[in-house]
Chain A
Amino acid sequence: MDFELSEEQRLLRDSIDRFVKSEYPFSTRQEIIFSTLGYSEKNWKLFAEMGWLALPFDAQYGGFGGSPVETAIVMEALGRGLVLEPYLSTVVMGGGLLAAVASHDQKERLIPQIVAGELTLAVAYLEPQSRFDPADVETSVKSTVDGFVLSGHKCVVYQGCTADKIIVSARTHGAERSREGISLFILDQDMEGVSRKDYKTLDGQWASDFFFSDVNLPESALLGQKGVALEAIESTLDLVISAVCAEAVGAMAAANDITRDYIQVREQFGVPIGSFQVLQHRWVDMYMEAEMAKSMSDVLAMRLRDGDEDSALMVAATKVRIGKAGLVVGQGATQLHGGVGMTNEYAAGHYYKRLMTIDILFGNQDYHCSRYEQLGIVA
């Protein structure tokens, strides 16, 4: 039993910490947010050079064979700086799906491009009626002589307009929420019949709704086998949830740090407001929430790495606990900063907005509470 990082893991964390410190001061992040892409291509190249984009992939495709634990280390460090580069959508989610379902040839073609920083991905798996359920797929796909025809509507696809390729879940057969009959396809943006509505999200990123109207897809667009993708989507979502929970842990730690610094210098009634017990206790509550969140995140990453039988429950439990902790910390940070916390020019509110986003992404607290209960309440 050991929660300490290995020497290699510490080096990994330190290298990202250094990047965040030097390349991601809040003022720089503000500039990046308002750039066309919403993230920095220069940073993305750096991620590739540093090998961070290679981390979770098999060595045969140019990766380092890292586990969910290493992904969590990266995401926690990125979370401290509210880093905008699409690591989650491209490496963890898109890359995770490729690793889980794609054929050897597809992996050989696509993963090295991700590793080199030449391919970014977005995953379109939810629909307006599906809420957070990846099995609820109305988007349909019909086989033709030389491929498929895709029709449907996918919603709030993070990085949908910035990504080079889109991975789409669609139903080849079965009823709307059937676990059978879901397939994954990889598409280019400029295919005929693909249209998009793009918008900014609460946390300053780009997202899109996709409309597919009789889009002709070649055979090669199908990732892996037809009709059996749901399990891979779910197992990838487990990894994605672990990653985003680790990101939240990093964001909470940073939000608590800046809030501590603020209440120690901000003076009212002639003294630092941090000398008031009511503010001290509120901050301590935020700190303790972050501690609980960190413990959940660490254990989840280890459980997923070890393939523990408890891991499905652990995914749901962690998402719930971290969603809650994130709101306590984010709202507390805004509150303790007072008026300053309400401004867009100060970091506190941005931590809140990202933590609130994370609470929603991949299933909110209610959704995962229900999952936890369905999986069986066990002590």
Chain B
Amino acid sequence: MNLAFSEADLAFQQEVRDFLVQRLPADIRDRCARGYIVGNEDLIRWQKILNEQGWMAPNWPVEYGGTGWSLTQKYIAAREFASACAPLPTFGITMLGPVLIAFGSDAQKARYLPRILRSDDVWCQGYSEPGAGSDLAGLKTRAVRDGDQYIVNGQKLWTSYAHWADMMFCLVRTDPDAKAQEGISFILIDMKISGIEIRPIIGLDMGHTLNEVFLEDVRVPVENLVGEENKGWTYAKYLLQKERNFVARVAQSRHLVARLKLIAAEQRVGDGHLIDSADFKRRLTSLEINLRALEYSELRYLSRELHGEKIGLESSILKIKGSEIQQGLKQLLVESLGMYSAPYENDMMPIDSDYLSIGPQHMQGIMAEHLYGRGASIFGGSNEIQRNILARQLLR
């Protein structure tokens, strides 16, 4: 038993830190630090820097443009990126890439993987539907074979960033008579072709990340089928496993703790400041201690992986505990502002705006991030679904 990282890993950590200090644009870092969504153009600007460095896709094998980092290095890099408030990697990198690499044809890999690395294509995920949320296998969007094309009809819901996307990886029903999980296929849809309509869904935070995507007689070439027809559920599950890596968000929560302390040191209460209040301190202490337990659990599970164990239910634990801590911190951040939690703008405001010229210096973004962050216990498999997954595996 040993907590220390090796000299080589510590040197790697320094290398990542140096890179982030030198290359992460200050405006992008500032948006992320305040919890605002980074716009598509900014994201692409950052991804091009990453790609130039060769660090665009740490989770891909080297032959497809991956970094060749060890598990420990991937952990360290993800932690450093988050600590530096760099944008999170996008769907193409984290989700579609691994699926194409595992199940895609040579032609699909040759076409799409380099385009993801170069940020030529932005991808969105066409999974949820009005009738298929937690029960994803209930999806109804239909794809009917017509010669060398599929004709797709249906509706996707909660499709994040569909309005920026060039392409969508999409689950469709190709066999309506088979058992729910067995009639699903995984296809790639060009978002520019006719028959696709995107309607924005404005979130609680009054921002636009979510969409409805309507598909009406959309013609998709058969070569855009990934793997075999009706095996899409297997690929979708594989993808969701990939999604669950680095779900603990420890570094992000540490950043929230730091913001909270900054605000609490400034906010006046009685003769002193919020940071001196016993009630506030006790709530912060409790969250900090929970965060330690989460961080060490992530390390303990990483150690399991390093010893060749497969990680499954551990991701669900990290997701539940991680999202609870994040939401707890965001709740406390909102409360720390007192009355100034009420004034609201959903995006960065010019420094001379009325909104920013009132209230505490660090209030910008806190309520928006809190509202958006309520989704952390809902997306990627809600915390209740995660508990079902744990119960299914542990209580059999």
> Which A residues lie at the B interface, using CB under 8 A?
1-6, 9, 69, 260, 263-264, 274, 277, 280-281, 283-285, 287-288, 291-296, 298-299, 301-303, 306, 308, 314, 317, 320-321, 369, 372-373, 377, 379
Contact = CB atoms under 8 A, between A and B. Distances in A.
A263 B306 CA distance: 34
Instruction: Point out which of B9, B292, B317 has the most chain A C-beta atoms below 10 A from its C-beta.
Output: B292
Contact of A284 (B5, B72, B296, B391): B391
Contacts of B230: none
Interface stretch (B135-143, B169-177, B277-285): B277-285
Contact of A3 (B1, B72, B293, B395): B1
Interface string B1-25: 1111100010000000000000000
A308 B3 CA distance: 10
Given A260-B395, A281-B384, 17 more contacts: A1-B4, A5-B1, A264-B395, A280-B387, A284-B390, A284-B391, A287-B394, A292-B297, A295-B299, A296-B292, A302-B1, A303-B3, A306-B3, A317-B292, A320-B286, A321-B292, A379-B254
For the residues of B in contact with A, the DSSP-based class is helix
A263 B9 CA distance: 45
A379 B288 CA distance: 7
Contact of A320 (B4, B289, B303, B320): B289
Contacts of B3: 1, 299, 302-303, 306, 308
Given A1-B299, A379-B254, A321 B387 contact: no
Given A2-B306, A4-B303, A9 B1 contact: yes
B395 A283 contact: yes
B391 A369 contact: no
Contact of B394 (A284, A294, A296, A372): A284
B188 interface: no
B307 A369 contact: no
A191 B285 CA distance: 46
27 contacts: A1-B5, A2-B303, A3-B1, A3-B303, A4-B1, A280-B388, A281-B387, A283-B394, A284-B391, A288-B390, A292-B290, A292-B321, A294-B300, A295-B299, A298-B1, A298-B300, A299-B299, A302-B2, A317-B288, A317-B289, A317-B292, A321-B292, A321-B293, A369-B289, A372-B289, A377-B281, A377-B288
A248 B318 CA distance: 21
B302 interface: yes
A-B pairs, 5 with minimum CB distance = A280-B391, A292-B293, A295-B296, A3-B303, A295-B297
A37 to B, nearest CB: 34
Given A1-B5, A69-B1, A369-B282, A281 B391 contact: yes
B261 A377 contact: yes
A162 B359 CA distance: 64
For the residues of A in contact with B, the DSSP-based class is helix
Interface of B: 1-5, 9, 72, 254, 257-258, 261, 281-282, 284-286, 288-290, 292-294, 296-297, 299-300, 302-304, 306-307, 317, 320-321, 384, 387-388, 390-391, 394-395
B211 to A, nearest CB: 32
Nearest to B291: A379
Contacts of A3: 1, 299-300, 303-304
Contacts of B72: 1
